Chain A
């Protein structure tokens, strides 16, 4: 049982380049999230998804796009990378319970370290 898997783990980009981070979970979770972690800022929610085909903005969505074409995958895209997007990116997933659904325990991947030069 792999849990939450992120690829790639490391990436270096030049300003203006584009890239996609892939997150895959094998726990059949409905909800998936992308966070970024910066020194002194903690983890900040970028985008999240409450199910296949849905996405929503978090705290810091600007400069990022996401897609959830399959339940197990959540993609984070940078169309034109900027140095301010140098960060460690974490994907997480969670199940739900009850109606209306309550977010359950969060499970995180190991992170993807992105450097934009």
Chain B
């Protein structure tokens, strides 16, 4: 059974910092892994979808990597901004982690 873990559970950083969010999964037989952003009281917004054949996927200041063999994915956020404050979730084989709550302060 797939289990997805996200570390850290919460993160507070000053504006401008580069940061890394971690996602690990137990079943490496995945076809893709997806990262989401969720603002309080809102739905999930898709950020990046990495196919199993890819190692990285980039969108603007976001870069996601995938290492299937080790069961890990990371989301790198460059030059963080207060508007990046949200909860970030990853999902593999329809199973979600509990998320990392990010706060970026000015």
The number of inter-chain residue pairs (CB within 8 angstroms) is 51
Is chain A's binding surface mostly helix, strand, loop or mixed? strand
B56-104 residues with Cβ-Cβ distance < 8 A to A are 89, 91, 93-99
CB contacts (< 8 Å) of B32 on chain A: these are: 102-105
> Is B43's CB under 8 angstroms from A90's CB?
yes
A108 beta carbon closer than 8 Å to chain B: yes
**Complex Cα distance A108/B44, Å?**
6
B105 beta carbon closer than 8 Å to chain A: no
A60-106 residues with Cβ-Cβ distance < 8 A to B are 90, 92, 102-106
A51 beta carbon closer than 8 Å to chain B: no
**Complex Cα distance A40/B42, Å?**
17
From A45, A104, A109, B43 is in contact (CB under 8 Å) with A109
From B45, B46, B89, B93, A43 is in contact (CB under 8 Å) with B89
23 contacts between A and B (CB under 8 A): A40-B98, A41-B98, A42-B96, A42-B97, A42-B98, A43-B44, A43-B91, A48-B94, A59-B95, A90-B44, A92-B44, A103-B31, A103-B32, A103-B94, A104-B32, A105-B32, A105-B46, A105-B49, A106-B44, A108-B43, A109-B43, A110-B42, A110-B43
